[in-house]
Every structure is written in C-alpha cells, then in structure tokens.
Structure 1
Amino acid sequence: MFDGAHFPLGPFVPYEGNPILRPRGGSWESTNLYNPAALVDGDEVVLLYRAHAEDIVSHVGLARSSDGFHFEREEEPILSPSEDYEVYGCEDPRIALIDGTYYLTYTGWDRRSAQLCLATSTDLHTWTKHGPLFADFDTFATMDPRGRNWSKAGVIVPAQMQGVWWMYFGEGAIYWATSDDLIHWTPGTPDSEPMYTPTPGSFDAGLVEIGTSPVLTDNGLLLMLTNGATSHVHDDGSSGVDYRCGQIVIDPDDPTTVLARMQVPWLQPQTFEDLHGLVSNVTFVEGLVKFRGRWLAYYGQSDTTLAVAVHDPAHPWGSALRA
C-alpha cells in the first residue's frame, strides 16, 4: 500500500490531455474503453481496462506508460469471457499484487446476474479463473433487490488485518469479506447488513460502489476512492444517472466501520466526454497509483473513454489561504 496520503486525498485536477485512451476501430475495443485498474510496475504505470466492440461483450486489455499519461496498448485482450457466468463480459477490473501474485477481481456478466469473480496470475497474461466469489448474494438487497446474484465490485486489501485477508465489495451498498488464502472468501454479514449505504440528499444518494484499492494514510487509516450515483433529469425531461467520485476511510483496528466520508465529490462529470457516451453523466474511478511523486486517479468517462486526474502534493487544499 502506498503511504503518505492524507484524508481527503487531493485536490485532483483532470489532465488537460484527456481522454488518454479511446476506442480504436475494427477490433475488440472498437466502441467503448473505460473503467481501468492501475498499478505501478517498476518504472511504468500499467492499466488493465475494460473495452468492447458493438456487441458490448467486455474484455480486459493492458496498456503501459512511462509517464502515466501516454500509453501503449497490447493488441489482444489479456482476459476474455470463457465461462457461462461471464459469457457476455469480463467487466470492471480491480487488482492487487501480493507476494508475487496478481489478484484480479472483475464482474462476470451473463445478462442476468452481475457476479464478482476472481482470477490470479503471476505475469498479467496467463490467468487462472476461480469463478464467482459469492453465491446467493445481492448487494442491492437493502435498497432495490435484484432477486438474483448481484455482487459487483471488489477491492482486496494487500496486507492482512487481524490475521486474515480482507475485501471490500459491492454495488448499491458496500460489504466486507475475509479469507485465509485469498481465493475463498466469506462475507462477514448477510446481504441485508451492509457496512456502508447511500447517504440521503447527497451525491451518492442512489447507490455507492467501492472504487479503488486502499492506500495508507499518514495516521494509519485505510483510504479508498468510491463511486456514488444519484438520479439525473436531462434537459428534455428524461431521467438517467449521475456518477461522481468520493472517498472513505477505515481504521484497520475496526475494519468493518467507515470512520468518515467526503461530503462532496472530488470528481464529477464536467467535460464533453464525462457528459456524453454509452451511459452519460459518469465519472467512474477504479485505478489509483502514486507515481513519480504525484497521485494519478484513472477513471472512465460515460462508459466510453478513459481519463486521469492528478493530485500533486506540492499543491494541497486551501490555496486561497496561501495566495
């Protein structure tokens, strides 16, 4: 885990060269490219991103960058649907590196159930799939029950707490699970008892979803970026969603309790790409790295393009007082 973070982490400024990755024609990633996991590998930033063609069957691709902004993509996806539970997509990856093994959580989509799945690798190219992690679990149970398995989004804490491994997961509400081996996971509570739920009247009043793997703050808390949504009314009177990005912190000594949350989003739709796309009005973060002294948060723009926002610790909050 990266250290030296403060809560709230930021401010983040969207990169002026966004989008940094777009779909490219005639291939498996020809129509939409978004929602990346991120990690630092030596002197490079690596993105594992979701993309698809017009069939909207998602695969996971890999891109590398020496500066965090300009990426070279591999021609073929590194993870593609091969099983019944993911026949229509391997979606929304998050990643953790623990003792030389990469643990990739992703959503397996069969056009009925969105299930949190796990795959492992030692080289980012050859993957062993371990299947859906949670049977008969609905992370919308307390809000708008799906009536079937639904357990999108999961981040693994890359260090043990209280002698076991921890994962935070869920779309709708956020839950926790523990493991002895990083492969088999047991939810700590039934789906009717989430640890974190939407906040009425706020930017995440409709749903909350875990965003990025945790980083360690300077006072020992775990900080995670989150995604939240509310309903949105368009100018023509139609309704849709509005996804914005928040933050939460957790005490490792009490890992099932959210100590604090940002009251306002640190990132929200504002550019053309943020406001227009396959699912409009969306900034959706899944990757966070500290690279060359700066924090880089990678996010999807309206499920169509991929962008980055930058926090330079040399430019903290409170600029008005320093003027």
Structure 2
Amino acid sequence: MNTGPVRFPLGPFTPYEGNPILTPQGDGWESGSVYNPAAVVVDGRVALLYRAHSDDIVSRVGLAWSDDGITFHREPDPVLSPSEDYDRYGVEDPRVTRVGDTYYLTYSGWDRRTALLCLATSPDLRTWTKHGPMFPDFDTFQPGGHGEPGPWSKAGGILAQPVDGTYLMYFGEGSIWAATSPDLLHWTPVTRDDEPPIMAPRPGTFSDFLVEVGPPPLVTDDGLILLVHNAATKNPDGSVRYTAGQLLFDPQRPTEILAELTRPWIEPTTYEDLNGLVSNVTFVEALVWFQGRWLAYYGQSDSTLGVAAFRPGDRFSDLQA
C-alpha cells in the first residue's frame, strides 16, 4: 500500500532525464514494444508488471524488479499470457492493487474485436488466477459509443482501502465509471451504462476525445480520493495525443467530482513520447511511493517505458538525488 503524503494536486512531476527505463529486447515476446506498466512496492523493491509484445502485437505481462525505482532487472518469462477466448490476442494494460496478502490485477482482454476489463489474482505476482471479464455487457464509451455495437471496457483502478466496508473501483475507457464490491472479486457498476458516466470527454479541453482511468486511486491526507486519469485529444489528421489529469472525490459521494486539474500534469515532450507505435502518448498506469518520492511509470508512444518523480517539499523533483 502507498504510504506517502497525498495532496491534490499531486506534483509537480519531473520526467527522468535517462528515460526510457525499459525498451524492447531480444527476438521473442518483448521484442516489439514494452510499455503501460502496473507497479507495487514489495519488500523494499519496486515490482513492475509491464505490457510487452513482439511484432504480432499479442501482449503479455512481464515482471521486473528495482532497488532504486529506476534500474530494473527483468524476469525472463511473462507472468500473464493469453489463455482464454476473451484474451486470446492479448492481456493488456495492467493495474495492480495489493490488499492483505493478495494482489488484484485488472487488465484488458483482447480478442481483436472486443476489449473487456478482466480480473486476476496472485499471492506472489508470478502465479495468477484469472477470474474472467468483470463487466461483459458494459460499454464504457457511453454515452458517445465506440463506433461498433456491443460491449467494451478497459482500465480498472481498485482503491485498496474499503469505504464503509465496501471496495471501490473506478474503471473505463472513453468515459469514467465506478463500481463496488464486497469481496474484491464480484463487482457491480454504481450506475448502468444507459446513465451518465462520472466523467465524459470535455469539448475544448485536453480530454475532448476520451478519458480513461490511470493508476489505482489513493486516499489523500484529508480523507478524499485522488484519481489520476489519462486523457486524449484528436488531431485533424485523425491521430491522437495522450496526456494525464487528476480528479478529487469525497469517499461518501464517489461519483461526484469535487475538483479536477484544468491542464495536464504530464504530456509528450521527449523523442520517445512523440514517436512510436502510437505517437504522442504519455500513458500513466502506475504510481508508487518509494524512497521518499512519488514515482509515476508510463508508456511512451506504446513503445517504451518511462518514469517521472515528485518529492514532496521540493519545487522540482531530482531523480539523480
């Protein structure tokens, strides 16, 4: 569980000048792209669960470890791979939350037609039990829709602390929604997909094309909930640009936004951010408190993996310190 100070807005974050910290390697399962990781601190080390694929773009999840939060050593084999009809062409974009002795991993199962938000659990980050799609009939792109009939869901961030005995998760690509659970395994959307979402794209803002849940939410020092979200705008040529924002909620009214950033806290600036499989992307799925600073891990243009840091009390973070 993250234990550092949490205040809204969190930051400013400074990207590490040595990014990317992970890149494709070899000629196998992670030879094409390495990006969009989940992260958790385990026994004084950062564990990174990262998405990777070869040129076939069938994603798997790998595991890497770091003593300093920057230099990672990868385990040789993926820890989560396609095995079911609903994820046969990819297990994508993980987020992880630890509650007690169990790790709860949400990920997108991809069958080249439909993306479905799925759940897996593990006692050790290496052996995972899949629990299947969480919302098999839900379209998180509502009210706008995703251009095709049928369900679509991605991006689940589980709050580690229960609220009045019930667990809370924010989820969704396109728009942002909420769900609750008594046991972390069985989840029910707070609203139906024919009702308004918590947050939909905002015309004229940095989220005017879509919004999507980022890392698992955090409880702030004053008891509110901080949710980091990804956001996208669409360019005239049809390409997209991904940045990230932050939202604030009252735990007693978790579907009503109290406050939000009006400009991104991270956005594409470096060569890797601006060029890749899908260019102009900084996509954040991991946020951990480690060695006195917040570390945000993010995908760079769906190709490489970067990190940015914020040390509370400093005007600008220094990853070299």
Instruction: Name the TM-score class by shorter chain.
Output: over 0.9
Q: Is the contact between residue 142 and residue 197 of structure 2 (CA under 8 Å) also seen in structure 1?
A: no
SS at match of 2:197: coil
Measured after TM superposition, the shift of residue 3 of structure 1 is: 4.4
Native 8 Å contact 2:5 2:312 kept in 1: no
In 1: Cα distance, 2:220 partner to 2:166 partner: 21
TM-score (norm 1): 0.95
What TM-score, normalized to structure 2? 0.95
Name the structure 1 match of 2:177.
175
Which residue of 1 is the match for residue 310 of structure 2? 311
In the TM superposition, residue 313 of structure 1 has moved relative to its aligned partner by 1.2
Number of equivalenced pairs? 313
1:276 partner amino acid: N
Q: Percent identity among equivalent residues?
A: 58
User: Any conservation in 1 of the 2:36–2:299 contact (CA below 8 Å)?
Assistant: yes
Looking at structure 2, the residues matched to 316 and 196 of structure 1 have their Cα atoms a distance apart, in angstroms, of: 30
Q: Which runs of 5+ in 2 are unaligned?
A: 317-321
Deviates more, 1:247-256 or 1:143-152: 143-152
CA distance in 1, matches of 2:182, 2:313: 40
2:167 equivalent to 1:165: yes
Quote the residue 1:321 is aligned against.
none
2:248 equivalent to 1:246: no
Q: Give deviations 1:43-95, integer Å, cap 9, x for gaps.
A: 10111000000110000000000000000000000000000000000000000
Output the amino acid matched with 1:115: L
Two-structure CA RMSD over aligned residues (Å): 1.1
Letter in 1 for 2:297: Y
Residue in 1 that maps onto 2:10: 9
Per-residue deviation, 1:208: 0.4
Shift of 1:216: 2.1
Aligned to 2:211: 208
Does the 8 A contact of 1:212 with 1:226 survive in 2? yes
- Contact kept, 8 Å, 1:4 with 1:216, in 2: the verdict is no
Match of 2:269? 270
**By how many angstroms is 1:141 displaced?**
1.9
Determine if contact 2:4/2:289 at 8 Å carries over to the other structure. Answer: no
Does the CA-based 8 Å contact 2:4-2:292 persist in structure 1?
no
Would the aligned equivalents of 1:3 and 1:218 in 2 still touch at CA under 8 Å? no
Q: How far is 1:173 from its partner?
A: 0.4
- Aligned twin of 2:222: 219
Residue of structure 2 equivalent to 1:54: 55
Q: How does 1:72-91 map to 2 (within 5 A)?
A: 72-91=73-92
In structure 1, what is the equivalent of residue 126 of structure 2? Answer: 125
Q: AA paired with 1:54?
A: D
Q: Counterpart of 2:216 in 1: which secondary structure? A: coil
